[in-house]
Amino acid sequence: MASDSKRISASTLIQLLSGMALFGTATPLSKIIGQNFPIFTASFLRMAIASLVLAPFVWAATKRFKEAKRSDIAVIAAIAAFGMVGFTATMLFGMRLTTGVIGSTIMSATPAVTALAAVLFLGAAMNWRNAGALALAVAGIAAINLLHGNDGGGGNAIVLGAALVVVAVCFEAAYTLLSRRLSIGITSIEATLAASLMAAPVFILLAWQFDPEPFAFAGASQEAWAALIFWGAMTGGLAPVLWYRGVRKAPALLSAGAMSVMPVTSLVTSYLLLGETFQWSHLIGFGLVFLGLILMIFEHAGAQD
């Protein structure tokens, strides 16, 4: 099995961490948006806003797909299906039914799921440092989930919401690993814009077919509109670009470890935006997650090319 260790630059690490930090805000934002907009209508608006943010940069600063290979189109289509349509829809439906803390802690499983997929499907090497780092991340997830106590009931609806977020985790892992399959001729901005443009008409069809009131915006509050705009511009536009740029230059297991930042920002923004209750078990979980992240960073920052 080939080694997956290589030296990384500070800029690559910053791209990974900042991209995941922005992605983390999507969990509580999804709850606000899902409660104020029809699901597929909101998803289409996310793609439209992200495309508007990205299009000027693609026009001014890239070769605009001239070097795209046929295989790149297939990968981008898969990213659109899993990372845009699948992830967005399951997150919105799931977060409509469950709480911000539950959704955030389930999203904590993303690093472990992505790392496992990298080992199984990409042949990534798993040594004791990588395994230890991921074990710490999983322990942090367990601490948050097992010790946070009862969130106030909710019965089958909360269970269904949690199950949908689990599916979103799997889509997020596929989204990350697929981006590593793009050729050098396609930039991160181009890939994100193309995937957003592919997903947009799909959401239009889904909105007309399944939303009770498609493209109905009258009842949305200013807070909901602000959440939707940030969700589209930052988590739909800027975050994927930062993340893709980092992922394509970093080892797969380091990328998986960097995902540990996402549930932390998700929990913090759940406190701030949703008024969810802080519990000390969260600090235990945060500490374990960050220990694992630091171990993963040192493993790859100190490795030779």
Position 296 in a domain: no
pTM of the model: 0.78
Residues whose CB falls within 8 Å of the CB of residue 56, separated by 6 or more in sequence, listed in order: none
Structural domain includes residue 273: no
pLDDT along the chain (305 residues), means of 10: 56 89 90 92 95 84 63 90 92 88 76 77 72 75 62 66 87 83 77 91 95 85 93 91 82 75 84 82 73 69 47
> Does residue 256 fall inside a structural domain?
no
- Which pair of structure tokens corresponds to residue 40? 């597929």
Residue 78 inside a domain? The answer is: yes
Residue 70 lies in a domain: yes
Would residue 114 count as lying in a domain?
Answer: yes
The domain total for the chain is 1
**Per-residue exposure over 82-120, b if at least 16 CB sit within 10 Å of its own CB, e if not:** bbbbbbbbbbbbbbbbbbbbbbbbbbbbbbbbbbebbbe
Q: Do the domain assignments include residue 142?
A: no
Whether residue 304 is contained in a domain is answered as no
pLDDT at residue 2 in the model = 42
- Tell me how far apart the alpha carbons of residues 101 and 88 are, in angstroms, rounded to a whole number: 18
**Residue range(s) defining the domain that contains residue 246:** 28-126+153-251
